[in-house]
Amino acid sequence: MDIQAEKDAIRRQVFAGRLDIDPTEKAVWDAAVANRILSLLPEGTRVVCAYVSVRGETGTEELIRKLRASRIRVALPRVIPGPERRMRFFIPRRESDLEISRFGIPEPRMSEEELGDPTCPVIVPGVAFSDRGARIGYGAGYYDCFFAREPGHMTIACAYDFQVFPEAVHPVFSADPRDVRMQKLVTPSRLYTF
């Protein structure tokens, strides 16, 4: 099995699927995902690590709005240049405090407050997921490296239903033992708990 070729094929399939989503349907799906994630958060949650969705990812705008309306602070990731593949989370005060990274992703400025909670829930993006909690990302490994350094976080992945694949049919999901598996996976129609 050519692992990289299969991962690339899955990525192409998902990217094509994301381009075909009707905007009205996407809004309904994103709201369903946001509500399901909110119901999973432990009572007393004060901060959640999230991400700003881009390029057809499962939308987080509604989720971030609802978190802030619930007085839950939202930390967003910033990639730190260097060979260690470091990613740190900062808590921007306003959406206007974000800047576009070299990857074209809105990131908080380093002058913002840095996250100081090694156990808060983290909402994890991804290209594809298995029905057993494995994840295929974009290939840079930033989230895997982050969780290797801070393994105490609750991991909640979110995706559209067509991004979930049966691992028994696609063993590529279990090919790399360094990949961090998710504890929860939320889609518009389903909650997976691992």
Instruction: Give the Å distances, CA to CA, from 78 to 105, 128, 165, 170.
Output: 9, 22, 29, 31
| Burial class (CB within 10 angstroms; exposed 0-12, middle 13-18, buried 19+) of 194 | middle
Instruction: Give the Å distances, CA to CA, from 145 to 79, 98, 180, 192.
Output: 11, 23, 9, 23
**What is the pTM (predicted TM-score) of this model?**
0.93
Q: Starting at the edge strand that comes first in sequence, how are the strands of the sheet with 122-124 ordered? A: 113-114, 86-91, 73-80, 47-49, 122-124, 155-158, 184-186, 191-193
DSSP helix/strand/coil, 100: strand
Which phi and psi angles does 139 have, rounded to 5°?
A: 105, -5
The CATH number, out of the four listed (2.70.70.10, 3.30.365.10, 3.40.50.10420, 3.90.226.10), of the domain defined by the range 3-193: 3.40.50.10420
For the stretch 19-34, pLDDT in tens is 999 999 999 999 999 9
Per the listing, tokens 């900062």 go with 90
Nearest Cα neighbor of 146 from 105, 75, 90, 88 is 88
DSSP letters of 29-80?
Answer: HHHHHHHHHHHHSPTT--EEE-----TTPPP-HHHHHHHHHTT-EEEEEEEE
**Residues ≥6 apart with Cβ < 8 Å to 178:** 144, 148
Rounded-to-integer distance, Cα 149 and Cα 87, Å? 10
For the stretch 78-113, pLDDT in tens is 998 877 779 999 999 877 779 998 878 899 998 999
DSSP helix/strand/coil, 25: helix
Rounded-to-integer distance, Cα 19 and Cα 111, Å? 35
The distance from CA 41 to its chain's CA centroid, rounded to whole angstroms, is 15
| Domain spans, the chain | 3-193
pLDDT in tens, the chain (194 residues): 688 899 999 999 999 999 999 999 999 999 999 999 999 999 999 999 999 999 999 999 999 999 999 999 999 999 988 777 799 999 998 777 799 988 788 999 989 999 999 999 999 999 999 999 999 998 888 999 999 999 999 999 999 999 999 999 998 898 777 788 999 999 999 999 99
